[in-house]
Chains A and B, each alone.
Chain A
Amino acid sequence: MRKLLALVNRELLAYFSSPLAYVVLTAFLFVNGYVFYLIVAFLNDPRTPGMAPLKLIFGGTIFFWLYLLFVVPVITMRLLAEERRTGTLEVLLTSPVSEGQVVAGKLLAAFVFYVFLWVPTLAYVAILASKAGIDYGPVASGYLGIALLGAMFLSVGLFTSSLVRNQIVAAILAFAILIVLFSLGLVENLVTSAGVKGALGYMNLWNHMDDFGRGIVDTRHLVYNLSLTAFFGFLATRTLEASKGR
């Protein structure tokens, strides 16, 4: 456990000592602030039907997805690719830590950084709570959805970072896989076969976030998110193990 904590701490130090972290954080806040403003302005229009504004923030707009699809590969691209490129991976993997611990440590650190990105958005909750009554249940489940989705996306990014030495290539690969995962649900409407439609519907991330935003914590969504997180984490571990043969 102490080794894992040491790995997480080192990774967080790397995040917060790089300018990239602050650029990502600033851009994230700017985009989210703008989206919040748009949502509030939209809901203030008397012609708009009554809606919960936070539900729109939690995956209700395309901005949420676009930004997440871009920002996650940027967060994860460095994680293993950079260690491989500089050679620090050789020191790390000849220390008494397993490949699984290295992957877990990196994923946890990336997750902590991701959560850190979202923390300032609690201000929106506070602003809305001060102006109108809000239901905290859907807020909590919305944040849970964001956390689960983040873990899954980060795991994909960590996996692609384990494949290559070049961070940009890792980011592009992650982006490609994430686009596929994201769009799987969107092609749901294009197929006619009930079985395929059902399967694709199960994988529809937009629906997942819609449910979470409404306060529904569906175990199917939990299982989907967590199993994909574990699967890509496993692939990253196996990639590290397999690189011994090179």
Chain B
Amino acid sequence: MIEVEGLTKRFVDKDVVANVSFFVPEGEVLGFLGPNGAGKTTTMRMITGFLSATAGKVRVAGLDVDRDPLGVRARIGYLPENVALYPEMRVEEYLRFRAAVEGIPRGEVKARVDEACDRCMVGDVRRQLAGTLSKGYRQRVGLAGALIHKPPVLILDEPTVGLDPRQIVKIRELITELGREHTVILSTHILPEVEQICRRVLIIDNGTIVADGTPEQLRTGLAGTAEVKVELEGPPAEALVGLSALPGAKTVRDAGNGRFEISVEGGADIRREVFSLAVQKGWMLLELSSSMPSLETIFLRLTTTDVKAEQEAPAEEVANA
């Protein structure tokens, strides 16, 4: 549904987006993650055609955004990061205006406006001037405007920023529901949001894609490690050597007082092996637990250079061990 190929955007002498390629099939909800300034908004603006690309191609529903910009725009519902409404228009007037601009036949406008108001829960402010709306309502009116023409593709740039917790829950529910009928690209830096809503995650940092996969794939494959915590009564030095020798154990850290933290390659579960080893050696096992790194950890590892350096640190410990 959305094909992005070698997309690059150069501002002055810096590539804000550098050679980004990805494909979003029909019906997928893609979470577009990245720290502030990573290039999320710029990429989304290039997909909508609001910004032109320095290099690369974007196709939406088979249409090239450069060759048929109006065709692409007609197929996209876009909610920009800063939802701007015309303050002098009433919510209903604004939605009718959006409907007309989207080319919805006159006879259908009322029904579409009613439907969008219902879906986005803005029915109670229909007669209110957009300039007097709260941030939460503005966001929802913007969303109502973006989906008034029932576009096959929805591009939502940080739709829950600045909302109160109740509104966030409501908007997330709405996006989840929309994901059943539309192809959605959702940009955010709120990680639980992505885990809840998105089937696939794309992490962008410094204008390049650093990870692409389902949240589970990212945890297991891309983070590379799951962590097993062990507490036992036994000779620490022997335990460290024994645990390090287990298949799959990447690094083992002696946390003191008989506690060990094992990083496991590929996220495999090695608790059984740890248990067998303890039985075999006659150590008393006090604690054995396995934890997957959170998406937050992965995000930090992939997007922060300091943490990338830290990733190297445990390897050194193995060498010491």
Which residues of A are interface residues toward B (Cβ below 8 A)?
2-3, 5-7, 9-10, 13-14, 17-18, 86-88, 90-98, 244-246
Query: Chain B residues with Cβ under 8 A from A3's Cβ?
Result: 100-101, 103
Query: Chain B residues with Cβ under 8 A from A90's Cβ?
Result: 45, 50, 78, 80, 84
Closest-CB distance, A184 to chain B (whole angstroms): 36
Contacts known (A94-B76, A95-B98); A10 close to B103, Cβ less than 8 A: no
Which one of B18-26, B85-93, B194-202, B263-271 is at the A interface? B85-93
Residue of B nearest to A90 (CB): B80
Query: Chain A residues with Cβ under 8 A from B82's Cβ?
Result: 87
* B106 located at the interface, meaning its Cβ lies under 8 Å from any Cβ of chain A in the complex: yes
Closest-CB distance, B157 to chain A (whole angstroms): 10
Residue of A nearest to B45 (CB): A90
* B74 located at the interface, meaning its Cβ lies under 8 Å from any Cβ of chain A in the complex: yes
- Check A98–B70 contact: CB distance below 8 A: yes
Alpha-carbon distance A246/B51, docked complex (angstroms): 7
- Check A91–B88 contact: CB distance below 8 A: no
Closest-CB distance, B57 to chain A (whole angstroms): 16
Alpha-carbon distance A90/B85, docked complex (angstroms): 11
- Check A18–B88 contact: CB distance below 8 A: yes
Contacts known (A2-B106, A3-B101); A245 close to B52, Cβ less than 8 A: yes
Contacts known (A90-B80, A91-B78, A93-B50); A2 close to B103, Cβ less than 8 A: yes
Alpha-carbon distance A226/B100, docked complex (angstroms): 29
Secondary structure type dominating chain A contacts: helix
* B97 located at the interface, meaning its Cβ lies under 8 Å from any Cβ of chain A in the complex: yes
Chain B interface residue number, banded: 20 to 34
Alpha-carbon distance A98/B11, docked complex (angstroms): 24
Alpha-carbon distance A2/B49, docked complex (angstroms): 23
Residue of B nearest to A241 (CB): B52
- Check B85–A10 contact: CB distance below 8 A: no
Residue of A nearest to B9 (CB): A245
Which of B84, B89, B101 is within 8 Å of A95, CB to CB?
A: B101
Which of A2, A17, A86, A245 is within 8 Å of B100, CB to CB?
A: A2
* B301 located at the interface, meaning its Cβ lies under 8 Å from any Cβ of chain A in the complex: no
- Check A96–B101 contact: CB distance below 8 A: yes
Query: Chain A residues with Cβ under 8 A from B142's Cβ?
Result: 91
Q: Can you identify 11 A-B contacts, CB atoms within 8 angstroms?
A: A3-B100, A6-B100, A10-B86, A14-B86, A14-B88, A87-B82, A88-B85, A88-B86, A94-B50, A94-B73, A95-B73
* B231 located at the interface, meaning its Cβ lies under 8 Å from any Cβ of chain A in the complex: no
Nearest 3 Cβ contacts at the A-B interface: A6-B100, A87-B84, A96-B74
Which of B50, B70, B85, B93 is within 8 Å of A244, CB to CB?
A: B50
* B102 located at the interface, meaning its Cβ lies under 8 Å from any Cβ of chain A in the complex: yes
* B145 located at the interface, meaning its Cβ lies under 8 Å from any Cβ of chain A in the complex: yes
Closest-CB distance, A165 to chain B (whole angstroms): 13
- Check B88–A94 contact: CB distance below 8 A: no
Query: Chain B residues with Cβ under 8 A from A18's Cβ?
Result: 88
Query: Chain B residues with Cβ under 8 A from A93's Cβ?
Result: 49-50
A9, A91, A92, A246 interface centre (most CB from chain B within 10 Å): A91
Alpha-carbon distance A153/B97, docked complex (angstroms): 28
Closest-CB distance, B265 to chain A (whole angstroms): 45
Alpha-carbon distance A94/B72, docked complex (angstroms): 9
Alpha-carbon distance A86/B11, docked complex (angstroms): 22
- Check A94–B49 contact: CB distance below 8 A: yes
- Check B88–A13 contact: CB distance below 8 A: yes
Residue of B nearest to A95 (CB): B101
Contacts known (A88-B85, A91-B84); A97 close to B50, Cβ less than 8 A: no
